[in-house]
Structures are given as structure tokens and as C-alpha cells.
Amino acid sequence: MLIKENIALSENGFVFNPSTGDSFTMNNTGKEVIMMIKEGKDLNRITELMAEKYDVDRNTLERYLADFLNDLNVYNLLEEEK
Amino acid sequence: MSRRKVTVAVTGLNNIDSPGPGIPVIRGIRESADLDARIIGLAYEHLEPGIYMKDLVDKTYMIPYPAEGKDALFERLMEIHSKEALDIIIPNFDAELFSFIKLEKKLAEAGIKTYLPSIQQFEERNKSNLSAYGDKYGITVPRGTEVFSIQDMNNTLRSMNYPVMVKGKYYDAYTAHSFEQAASYFEKLTAKWGFPVIIQEYIRGTEVNIVALGDGEGNLIACVPMRKQYITDKGKAWGGITIDDDSLHQLARKIFSLTKWKGGMELELIRSSSNELYLIEINPRIPAWVYLAVGAGQNIPEALVKLTLGIDVKPFTRYDVGKMFVRYSYDMIVDLELFSRLTTTGEL
Amino acid sequence: MSKQLFERPTITRLTPGVPSKHGAASVIAPMPLIDGVKVDDLIDQFGSPLYIFSEREMRKSMEEIKRAFSVRYHKTQMAWSYKTNYLDSICRIFHQEGSWAEVVSGFEYDKAIKNGVKGENIIFNGPGKSASDLEKAARNGSFIHIDHMDELFLLSDICNSKEIEARVALRVNMDIGINPRWDRFGLNYENGEAWDAINRIMINPRLKLMGLHTHIGTYMMSTDSYRIAATKLADLAYNISVKFEYYIAYIDLGGGFASRNTLKGAYLSGEDTTPSFDEYAEAITSALINSRIRPDKLPTLILETGRAIIDNAGYLAGTVIANKRLSDGKRATIIDIGVNILFTAFWYDHKIHPVNSHSGLVEETAIFGPLCMNIDVVRSSLMFPALKRGDRIVITKTGAYNITQSQQFINLRPAIVLIGINRQVHVIRQAEILDDIVKNELIPDYLA
């Protein structure tokens, strides 16, 4: 799982996709997750780190992470899995 | 004499093909010999061009839509006020005026001045009340009816001849030549501006507009009539010329002395083929073509700021007749970085 | 270190016309408390969804409306509109505040009597009164508001055959310059039907004309309409005094004051545009005072305001069941509140608050109910924070009509609690149980 290389990501949570011209904003948790993906962390590690930081049960967390990743996919921000 | 420093917040930075009055208002203020203004833009959408016109607008803040309620608006204005110490706000959209009029007192208590009509003045000139307005003040207006449903409209149209004007509560007007056309405009207008829709008699003739400014005591401070020379498919003037016609001035004087209107106003009139003058609409604010008045010698935005500050302003006595404006559009180059800052922080 | 509150991660595409959090954050403030009582505690204790009423707000609204009229007019009488909300506890609060009862059916009439309202303090409206309803109301000395000529003749026959008298008023409809016109109730002013009925009542020794009544519409945002209506009724009262040398006791201007909800299709928020009680009062009372009626003979003003008093005092709390993404990319949040218990979702863009705090970032969301019906839409589109399953929400201004018009459909209807003045919480109707629904059913022997 990788964010497309050309995606511009700014500190304040603004995302720009140069190949489509779309721009996006994220909330804080969204920003954290996308940063961790960018750093190369895998889904298990991200889930672990989020669970440590936030008051949330494992099921809920996994469900909403999957949801978020699906959004990234729908918006064409992820590299296609090989 | 040194120029008076003043911080003015202005809305209506949407200087697009159907422009808001914000940028022309700012140009007028900027050209004042007496005022040294810091201009704060107040924007609803990220792409309002004025936000990126840095030589005209010093700083812009996003504000909530009027539909979110006046309390949300007030809260945001106070946040901006705490950073910018606003002296004056000039609202330029019909749809936001209601909220600003309602907030007038609270804003004044916070030290922000506005120069607005009363809620009664604002309501009585509403498109849907135009017939009553005509009766009350003895002004010729086209027949008009408010309709709340397609069925309502069908009933109304039975006693009228096509074409008819189909108008939205705040903005937008279409000419319909058949019931089907009217029905499609009805849907379009209600989706955007809510109920009611106004069905108005179509008056054939020449359209003339007046930009005017009143002091709330019945005095007409400024008044410049303009004949549209070229009209876009949205009904906006793309070119216009100042004209001299005493009956127009008389009408404006009559309206202002009877209604004691406070603030800017645009009168939309049609001189019919039988040479009768119909008042078709009253816009409760300065129109986007106000810069023509500035160019012709009546700097209405500057006068408005002065009146708001409590400075005595003598009524203008003349303007250049035959001055023209030709509107153009212009592509600015904007850095993504600016856009990103605006969308994530709400200010630029 | 304690863990932070989790908000589900979101990413939102920027499209023109969508306000950012700087635009809209303050309007979707969380609502952890109602009248100082924790919403979470209420749901934990009484279940979700849950109707919640605030006695404090009811009494406050009553005080405001009474003050607005009493400072302008010598005699005003409120009458609680039962159909707006006829939970006994709610009615009793308004009766305690001095309201009479305004009922529109035999069922509501009996409820009012059961709530201790004296017969002579009941106003009986509506087009569907039965012969036995009319006789009972006449015997009790209630004010019977005549809706149509057939009713006038029926009542007259009853009074003659039973040798009783009735106190009546006439419901009048009129052109007050608004659309749509409410001309289906009462007798028409302009075509002379109302005057015809007045003549008939005045010469009938068994009928005593007490008042004139009109109800110009619902959710009236224009106070001017009330001014016109009051002026016309006052004219009618004056004409009666001239012709019959008789002064009626009251003018009843009905209800119809708007609450602070935002109607669907309105551009501006109802919180901003709804006139205040003072504005309504000014329009109505000035019309009466400036009428041709002799000042010492000015009638009592009766108001049947329901919605504007109770709507703001009612809340409906619920829980997020699920989130999904629709085919067009829009977010949908499913909650456990359906339109069967929130009928007003068809008319209003209800305001919805999360119970607990959120980051402030919002995205365009549709809010659906749990009914498995396509019409079950609480909000088709609003800017809403990213809530997750189990998060709780409060829908505000739901006090009018939602209880009386709710219908049992696929689920049992929730409990209703009242937060008293002292913040004590009282269940005023228990949650339905299966037996409530099936106990009146009968099964034929061969299916038993």
C-alpha cells in the first residue's frame, strides 16, 4: 500500500493530485494515517499505532481504516497493488 | 491633510462573469483621496477571484453562508474582528443582507459600523412585495404574483400573456415563452433560492438602471442612471453608458424621500414603447456596475464609507453624461500554495 | 497518559460551493447536555432513540408569549392546541400556566376533560364533530366553533330537540393576501357566507354567539397577515355591534406562529427569519386597538399557539447505526430515528448535533433512518462531522406534532422523558412493548 508518488501532501492536511487536478482536505486522524502510509508503514502497524493513541476498540478502528483506505482508492491516491 | 485610516470589510468578491459588487466597491474606496483603507475580504467560496487580487484586497477570510444562520456569521465576524479591528462592513449580496441587518446592533456594540436599510425598508422592496410597493408609493410597476407550486403558477399564467418573467426570491430572472419553459425555470429557481417564485408581466422596452445612495433621512446623496448597451445571456450589463434623463432623477428622488432608504440601492427600470417608466426591481445594495458612477464623477463607495463613519457628505450635483464602461474578464495566475492555505486555514 | 477521542479519518474532495470548516464549524456544536442533564446518561437509562422534553423551555416560551401580548392588550387568553402535542403531562404544564384547551375531535375533548379542564374552558374546533360530540360540548358550556353551515344546522337541531343551549363562535376564512389560501375551514368572509351564518345564529335563541375565530394558515412567517386577519375580524365584530347592539366576548386568532425550524426550500435559517412573539403581538393587538370597536367593549383575544411554544422544547436523541458511501461519492449516515417518529422531517431541515465533540471538519452527508423504506430520509444533504457507529446525536426542535403524528412501523416507539424544572427526569410515556401493539388484535378460532 503506497500513496502515489506525485501526490502533494502539505502539513496542514491539504492534498493535491497533480494527475487529476483534484484537491482534498483531511481531518487530523486522516492526516496522521496518510502520513504513516507515506512513511511506508503497513496497515497492521498503522492500526497498532492508532489503537495506542486513541480511545477506540479494535473492530471500530479496523472498520474505519478500511473505509478511509477505500476513499483514498476511490479518489485515485493509492498506487495500484501489484 | 493626511488620509483617514479605516479598515473596511467587503463581501461579494465573486468577480466572475456575473460579478458581485465587491471588487468595484473596493476600487472606489481605493481611489479616495481622503481615505487610507485596509481592505478585508469576506468570502463564501474558495474561488472568489477577489481573494487573489492582492493589490485590491489586503486579506481575506472565509465566512459561513447566510443559510447557516446569523449567529454562526456573528461568531466568525467576531473572530475576524479580534484580529483585524474592523471599522466598517459593507455587505454586497442580497441574500446576506437580512442577516447583516439583524446583526446591525450587535456589530455596532462590538465597534463595527454598517450603513443599512431597516428590515421594514428591506422587506417592502422585496420582489414579491413589488406590487404593494408600487401602490403604496404611487410608482408604476409590472403586475406580479408570488407562486409556491407549479399548480399555483399554472393558475396565475392562465390570466397572463407570454412572454412572462420568472424570478427567483433573491437572484436570477428568466423570460419564459411557454408554460413548459416557465415550469423548468420554476424548478431551477426554487432549487437555488427557495420559495416563492415571482411571476411578472413582461414589459417591452429599453432597460435603464440607476445606482443611488440614500442617507436614511430622505436625501439622495448620489444618483447615476445608466443604459445597458450590451446584455449577457445572464441579463448582466457587459457595457453601459451614463445618461441624462430628468424623469429618472425625479423617480429616484421620489423613492428616496418617501422611503427614507439608507444605503446603496439599484433601481431596475424599463421605459416601455409607450414611453412609460416601469420599476421592475429594487436591489437593496450597490450594483456591480458602480464603478461607472465612480468614473463619471460620483464615487459612491467612498461616499458610503464616509457616511458610515459619520462624516458629512454633500449630495453629488453632477456626473459626466456619456461615460461608458466595457466589462472584461482577465485570467490571474494563482499558486496552488495560496489555494491550499485558504482551504485549510480559512484565511489568506 | 489517557487516550484521545477517536474520530474516523476522513478525506474530502474540494468542490466549489462547499464551505470549509471555517465556514460552518460553529453551527454543528456538540450537544452533550439538555437542560443540564447528560444526553449520554439519558440514553443509557431509557434507550435509543428517546424523545426528550424540557419543562423549563415550555414554561419560558409561555412566559414570553404571555408577556408579549399582555403588555400590549388588556385581555389575552391562551388555549393549548391539543393536536400539537397531547401527552397528558405536557398538556397539564400548559394548563398550569393558565391555558385553556383547544381540541378538534371528541377524543381530544375527552382527554382535556380528563386533564381537569372545565367544560367552559374548552374550545372545540374542527370540521368533523359528531352529533354526540356537539351535544356533550353544548351541555358542558364549551365554545363550539362552527366550521360549516351543515354543522350550524345540526347543532341547532340538537339544541331544539334536547332543549339545551350552546355557546358558539364562528370560524371565518378570508383573503389576507397570502398564498396558499386556507379556505377549506370555516365560512368565507368575502362571499358573505360568514355574515349569513352570523344572522342565523343571532336570531336563534338557543345559540349564543360568543366569538369570532380565524386560523389563517400554518408556519406564517409574515406578521402582516395577522394584522389583516385581526382587522377583518374586528370589522365583523363591529358590524355585529351596529346591527344587533351586541358585543361578542372574544376574537380567536388561532395558531400558526412559526417555530424556529428551517422549512425545506427556505434559503435563510428559521432561527433568523421567524418573527418573535413581540412582532406577532404588535401586529395583532395594534389591529384590534385601532379597530372601530368601542374601547370599553374590546373582546378578549384568544390564541391557540401550539407549535411555536412546544417545538423548541422537544428533542429527539438517537444513535448512529452505520456509515456508507453512496454511488455519487456522497457520505450517508444511518441513524436509529426514522421518519415514522420524526414526521416533521418531511417539512423541516432539522438541525442535528452530535452529542460529543468532534474535530469540526464536516463533509456533505445524507442522514437516513432505519426503516428500510426509500422515503426514510431525515436530511437529504447537510454538512456533518464524521460520526462513527455508536456515536449519539440530538435532533432539536422536534416538540410539535411528532408525538401526535408518529406511527408505529416495524419498530416499537421509544420512551418519552420530561426534564423537570429541578432537572429531575420523569418518564411521561413508557417505550412501547410488543403487547401494546398486539393486545387489541383478535385471532379467528381457525387461526389460533
pLDDT in tens, B120-153: 999 899 887 888 899 999 999 998 888 888 888 8
Chain C positions touching B193 (Cβ under 8 A) are: 267
Distance between CA B292 and CA B68 in Å, rounded? 34
Supply the pLDDT for residue C119. Answer: 97
Among chain A residues, the shortest Cα distance to B340 is held by A14
Cα angle C64, C94, C318 (rounded to 5 degrees) comes to 90
pLDDT tens figures, C241-251: 999 999 999 99
Supply the pLDDT for residue B233. Answer: 77
Residue B162's DSSP bridge partners are none
Chain B positions touching A16 (Cβ under 8 A) are: 336, 340
Question: What domains lie within chain B, and their CATH numbers?
Answer: 4-115+331-345 (3.40.50.20), 143-201 (3.30.1490.20), 204-326 (3.30.470.20)
pLDDT at C26 over 50: no
Mean pLDDT on C444-448: 94
pLDDT at B275 over 90: no
Distance between CA C238 and CA A82 in Å, rounded? 89
List own/partner pairs for B156-164 with CB under 8 A and 24 or more apart: B156/B199, B157/B182, B157/B199, B160/B199, B160/B201, B162/B202, B163/B202, B164/B199, B164/B200, B164/B201, B164/B202
pLDDT tens figures, C132-181: 999 999 999 999 999 999 999 999 999 999 999 999 999 999 887 666 66
**Measured between CB atoms, does A12 come within 8 Å of chain B?**
yes
Supply the pLDDT for residue C16. Answer: 58
Whether B68 sits inside 8 A of C179 (CB atoms) is no
Mean pLDDT on B255-261: 95
Residue position matching grid coordinates 481531518: A27
Q: Among A59-63, B67-71, B263-267, C276-280, name the one with the lowest average pLDDT.
A: B67-71
How far is A36 from chain B, CA to nearest CA, in Å?
Answer: 20
Distance between CA B202 and CA C159 in Å, rounded? 58
Whether A26 sits inside 8 A of C10 (CB atoms) is yes
More confident residue, C323 or C42: C42
Distance between CA C36 and CA C53 in Å, rounded? 13
How far is B321 from chain C, CA to nearest CA, in Å?
Answer: 40
pLDDT at C30 over 70: yes
Band of residue C50 on the pLDDT scale cut at 50, 70, 90: very high
Supply the pLDDT for residue C181. Answer: 67
When scoring B340, B341, B345 by the number of chain A Cβ atoms within 10 A, the one with the most, hence best to mutate, is B340
Length of chain A: 82
Q: What cell does C71 get?
A: 403588555
Distance between CA B342 and CA B338 in Å, rounded? 6
Supply the pLDDT for residue C23. Answer: 42
When scoring C2, C3, C8, C28 by the number of chain A Cβ atoms within 10 A, the one with the most, hence best to mutate, is C8
Cβ neighbours, 10 Å, residue B330: 7
How far is A19 from chain B, CA to nearest CA, in Å?
Answer: 14
pLDDT at C186 over 80: yes
How far, in whole angstroms, is CA B55 from its chain's centroid?
23
Average pLDDT, chain B: 91
pLDDT at B250 over 80: yes
pLDDT tens figures, B145-200: 888 888 888 888 888 888 999 998 877 888 999 888 998 898 888 877 777 889 99
Rounded to the nearest 10 degrees, what angle do helices B130-137 and B246-259 cross at?
Answer: 90
C255 in Cβ contact with C306 (< 8 Å): yes
pLDDT at C20 over 50: no
Supply the pLDDT for residue B235. Answer: 73
Supply the pLDDT for residue C177. Answer: 67
The Cα-based distances of A2 to A16, A29, B288, C9, C11 in angstroms read: 16, 18, 49, 17, 16
pLDDT at C18 over 50: no
Supply the pLDDT for residue B317. Answer: 93
Supply the pLDDT for residue B316. Answer: 95
Whether B47 sits inside 8 A of C16 (CB atoms) is yes
Distance between CA A47 and CA A65 in Å, rounded? 8
Supply the pLDDT for residue C21. Answer: 38
pLDDT tens figures, A3-56: 888 888 888 888 888 888 888 888 889 999 998 998 889 899 999 999 999 988
The amino acid at C402:
N
Supply the pLDDT for residue B152. Answer: 83
Distance between CA B72 and CA B76 in Å, rounded? 6
pLDDT tens figures, C248-295: 999 999 998 988 888 887 778 888 888 999 999 999 999 999 999 999
Mean pLDDT on B58-73: 89
pLDDT at B47 over 50: yes
How far is C5 from chain A, CA to nearest CA, in Å?
Answer: 6
CB-closest option in C20, C265, C272 to B69: C272
With contact defined as 3+ CB pairs under 8 Å, the chains touching B are A, C
pLDDT tens figures, B196-233: 889 998 888 888 999 999 999 999 999 999 998 888 87
More confident residue, B319 or C385: B319
**Measured between CB atoms, does C269 come within 8 Å of chain B?**
yes
Cis peptide before C295 (omega within 30 of 0): no
Q: Among C55-64, C139-148, C221-230, name the one with the lowest average pLDDT.
A: C221-230
How far is C13 from chain A, CA to nearest CA, in Å?
Answer: 4
**Measured between CB atoms, does A16 come within 8 Å of chain B?**
yes
Mean pLDDT on C432-446: 95
Supply the pLDDT for residue B1. Answer: 60
Mean pLDDT on B89-93: 94
Average pLDDT, chain C: 91
Supply the pLDDT for residue C96. Answer: 97
Whether C11 sits inside 8 A of A34 (CB atoms) is yes
Supply the pLDDT for residue C27. Answer: 55
Q: What cell does C293 get?
A: 370597536
Question: What domains lie within chain C, and their CATH numbers?
Answer: 21-53+313-430 (2.40.37.10), 56-311 (3.20.20.10)
pLDDT at C298 over 60: yes
b/e map C211-222, b = 16+ CB within 10 Å: bbbbbbbebbeb
Cβ neighbours, 10 Å, residue B238: 17
C165 in Cβ contact with C155 (< 8 Å): no
Whether C269 sits inside 8 A of B196 (CB atoms) is no
CB-closest option in A8, A12, A16 to B345: A12
pLDDT at A81 over 70: no
pLDDT at C15 over 90: no
pLDDT tens figures, C99-122: 999 999 999 999 999 999 999 999
pLDDT tens figures, C336-386: 999 999 999 999 999 999 998 777 677 888 999 999 888 999 999 888 888
Whether B345 sits inside 8 A of A16 (CB atoms) is no
Q: What cell does C255 get?
A: 395558531
pLDDT at C19 over 80: no
Supply the pLDDT for residue B139. Answer: 92
Whether C26 sits inside 8 A of B70 (CB atoms) is no
Distance between CA C152 and CA C144 in Å, rounded? 10
A61 in Cβ contact with A32 (< 8 Å): no
- 8-state DSSP, B116: -
- Cβ pairs bridging B and C (under 8 Å): 84
Mean pLDDT on B286-306: 96
Cβ neighbours, 10 Å, residue C203: 9
Mean pLDDT on C189-199: 90
Mean pLDDT on C223-244: 93
Cβ burial of C188 (10 Å; 0-12, 13-18, 19+) is: middle
Residue position matching grid coordinates 351564518: C197
Supply the pLDDT for residue C404. Answer: 96
